[in-house]
A and B are shown apart, each in its own frame.
Chain A
């Protein structure tokens, strides 16, 4: 993990990860506004998964303070687990414009961990594009909201992310407010034409409810998914995101715009890993620039 985060060693680490191939672990993205109780929910989910004998890794991605370049990680309810349990691994990472961006490291880390753990959770605060990019690197994306916040509707309407695979309303102990939030979400999802997305009300504090159902819903989504095809798509979109991060809009124009780039990526060899795809994109852009008059 340290290697993956070390910029100077990233190529070496990526090669290692790539050699290990697609892990069989289920990569679950958990995202939502700050303060909705994601850590409490994860503590409860962790207990549920461990009870089912599944090993779990969590990557907690925190938005970082851009001004100083420093970040406070783990400033939230701790994800409770037994320190002696080697089948649980938790690591926080800082997101943001630092040391070459974090998205590639997070994706590589998730891929590496999927070789060693049954479930890999990428937890992010849904406040911006980079976090949702990370969340979309998952096999299954759960968006978490709390009753009475209105955040969820904003989230969906703004189209910040594709329609989530599972919607979770926390603090179901808040009774009518939770029920109303759940109803609002169903309406919003219908408006988006996503009738099949399950909406689950969960209370992570005593008396715990809905956690087992949530674990089931996540597993059910994964069971319906063509994982191999999905992972190829994640790699391709990941490479494109890294390319845009590195070369910006000018780079995107050089490969004929986003749509063309996505189309072009679809034609590549599905076995190519992310660094290779990124290299291909960069080569294409370089060729295009060389052919420009005065370029």
Chain B
């Protein structure tokens, strides 16, 4: 896209939020209808089916579900030479038996998973209608995908499966997350999400698994973390035992290790195995490391044209940029060499807690941002009428 075309896009984007405002209820209705369908990781099918119905209603092509359960549909471009993937993950960290009722007031939508990631899916479901109302036709095909098995032990399985098996070459990808507005992630850090489990054989030892875990924590904290690689270690969750009266027979510790260097993660993982081997020398004690999720470092450089254009779109909409350029979701794209960006739609609080909520007012600005980035990376968008919208 040349500078002249880009300035046209930027000019249009500046007025887009106001034009989209009357269509807000369509998006909010989709948000509620989608969000109230429970979708724990590995249990997303009802939510994906609903989305597929919406895709069919919009007249999209190839509405289907792949072998892993990802929901897919194509909005054909005017030329269709290349394909842009637009994706949002379908799962939430909430169990199916949680109360998924949503509440709306004038300013907020409240409910489990509303930001992560019912809003992302609602944008996916609504976008074809919005583009039609705005008279925007992209040159390239838009492949819409609700990906499954993304969170925690899902380990982005749906997205990885799609990228590994899709026969359709993907030329660019945008990942939609509900929040926060202003995030622009284009790199992934290397990471290891792991769980250390500890078991005590009662016939041999009266030791408490909690005590053993404390020894492990002390040794983990002693590992050298190279600061030049931005290496961090997060102890996220710990549990074990059944009562205050008896020494714990088993326990677990969940952690995340991340760094911008794959090699550093490999080395520290080796150190963790050494620690566990040492701990297991104690009679009747065993300790194991189970990998929950992992990512590789990679992604786009700050000077990549997609990143530059996306920043110009955010700037044109006066969206305050967030600091971090990293998101684990970029890892899968980096692995398959697909240039990808991850953006957020609005502001949220209490994300992943049952009192999660999003702010309504910034939503259409977040959607305008998405449409702007799409037009900018499409490289030749067409409007049926120049004053449309």
A binds B: no
**Which B positions have Cβ atoms within 8 angstroms of A?**
none
